[in-house]
Amino acid sequence: MQAELARIVGAGNVLDGEGLSDASRLPGYADALVLPETPEQVAAVVAWAYEHDVPVVPRGGATGMAGGAAPMGGVAVSLARLNAVRELAPLQWRMCVEAGVTTATVQRLARENGLYYPPDPGAAEDSQIGGNVATNAGGPHCFKYGVTRAFVTGVEAVLAPGELVTAGGPARKDVAGYDLAGLLCGSEGTLGIVTAVWLRLVPAPAARRVVYQFSEDLDDAIQRFMACGFVPSALEYVDRRAFAAAAGSFPGQAGEGSLVIAEADGPGEAFEEGTPIDAAELWRWRDGISHAVAAVHGAKLAEDVAVPVERLGEAVTEVAAIGARHGIESCSWGHAGDGNLHANFLFDPGDTPARARADAAAEDVFAMALRLGGTLSGEHGLGRLKPLRGAPAAHAALKRALDPKGLLNPGVKEPASRGG
């Protein structure tokens, strides 16, 4: 297999596929890892795989939390070498970049040109724009601006059985066909491989004002910020146990209850309540919470569910109760305005029974999210860890239409009965 793939991408671009995981740490391996340098090479790899009935798993920065980039054999396709900036058009608030360009590079290019790319998933230095599209990634500032999909006007992708197509493009509007670009957003590599993306940008906000407050009544605090008369650019929460793990480096004054962070970024917009704090320092601290929590016992199981915003307080309380019931330390934080919780269960990496208790607790979190009218994933995707629910026939028909042999990232976004 490796020799045949080397004829397509060059011998130096075929590597051994052992030990390919992602941020979920789910073990993964491929028979070969290829690093194409052009979209045409990606298309030729997919054509070869389709001809030989070999599974194909796209890999971006491998920061995904759901095991979607952790293959179970077949060919893993890294997009890392497709990293050209094809167009940067500041006056049109637009750029076109190849899939392997990192999220941080997109954000930096926008910033250097007086513009702003709001989606800000927390591992931006490593995650790639192709991976962001494939997971329809969010982040704190998506509360006001919308998730990745809202910024994608076009996608270039390789579809089965190896065809390079474009859906949408630089035009900001396009209804001359089905919304294929939208369909690829959040498809987790199961419908095609994204090779380039047209992004719309917005003018950089004139100012950012961040405030924080601690509250024993999370829902009430969120409602107050949502009633302020404008859309906060970010509205986040950190529960008291997650805060305790990262309290040492908090740039403000600690208090009782959950921490609520709100940002206003329009001219003249500011909150009447809350304590002002330096925005850059606060967001740097916020980015470190995941690592601080993981360091408490050495490992954690992180789950990403979303509920209607008015059920957030209930969900946060219930995560704590679920942890207590299973005898495992728990905490949560997340994108409060979107009702999006990251529920975490903490354990010693060598403690196998504790890991099993964390898995059982996660199942209870999923059941709770569905009972409260929410969803199994707000932004990390289903990957290989969670089953697909809802409209199974429509999902299966779409999958059959675009991937008739079922070779694109098998095991991902599948109903429980087929192995999710």
What region does 129 belong to: left with phi over 0, alpha with psi -120 to 50, or beta? alpha
Q: Is residue 100 within 8 Å of residue 132, measured between CB atoms?
A: no
Q: Is residue 301 within 8 Å of residue 328, measured between CB atoms?
A: no
Measure the CA–CA gap between 304 and 333, rounded to whole angstroms. Answer: 10
Enumerate residues 97-116 that contact ligand FAD by CB under 6 A. Answer: 99
**Nearest 5 degrees, angle CA 23-CA 128-CA 91?**
150
Least distance from ligand FAD to the Cβ atom of residue 232, Å: 16
90 vs 161, beta carbon nearer ligand FAD: 161
Give the chain's length: 420
Residue with tokens 């293959």: 71
- Total residues at the site for ligand FAD (CB under 6 A)? 38
232 vs 383, beta carbon nearer ligand FAD: 383
Q: Is residue 60 within 8 Å of residue 381, measured between CB atoms?
A: no
330 binds ligand FAD per the rule CB under 6 A: no
332: three-class secondary structure by DSSP: strand
42 vs 269, beta carbon nearer ligand FAD: 42
194 vs 316, beta carbon nearer ligand FAD: 194
The 10 Å Cβ neighbour count of residue 418 is: 13
Enumerate residues 41-100 that contact ligand FAD by CB under 6 A. Answer: 57-65, 68-69, 79, 99
Among 123, 296, 369, 388, the residue binding ligand FAD under the rule CB under 6 A is 123
* CA 349, 132, 370, 258 torsion-angle sign: positive
Q: Is residue 304 within 8 Å of residue 65, measured between CB atoms?
A: yes
In the DSSP assignment, the letter for residue 382 is: -
Least distance from ligand FAD to the Cβ atom of residue 229, Å: 27
The residue at minimum Cβ distance from ligand FAD is 131
Least distance from ligand FAD to the Cβ atom of residue 189, Å: 3
55 vs 139, beta carbon nearer ligand FAD: 139
Q: Is 392 exposed, middle or buried (0-12, 13-18, 19+ CB in 10 A)?
A: middle
Enumerate residues 181-240 that contact ligand FAD by CB under 6 A. Answer: 188-189, 193-194
Least distance from ligand FAD to the Cβ atom of residue 227, Å: 25
Among 141, 208, 311, 380, the residue binding ligand FAD under the rule CB under 6 A is 380
Give the footprint of ligand FAD on this chain (CB under 6 A).
Answer: 22-23, 57-65, 68-69, 79, 99, 121-123, 127-128, 130-132, 134-135, 137-139, 188-189, 193-194, 290, 379-380, 383, 409, 412
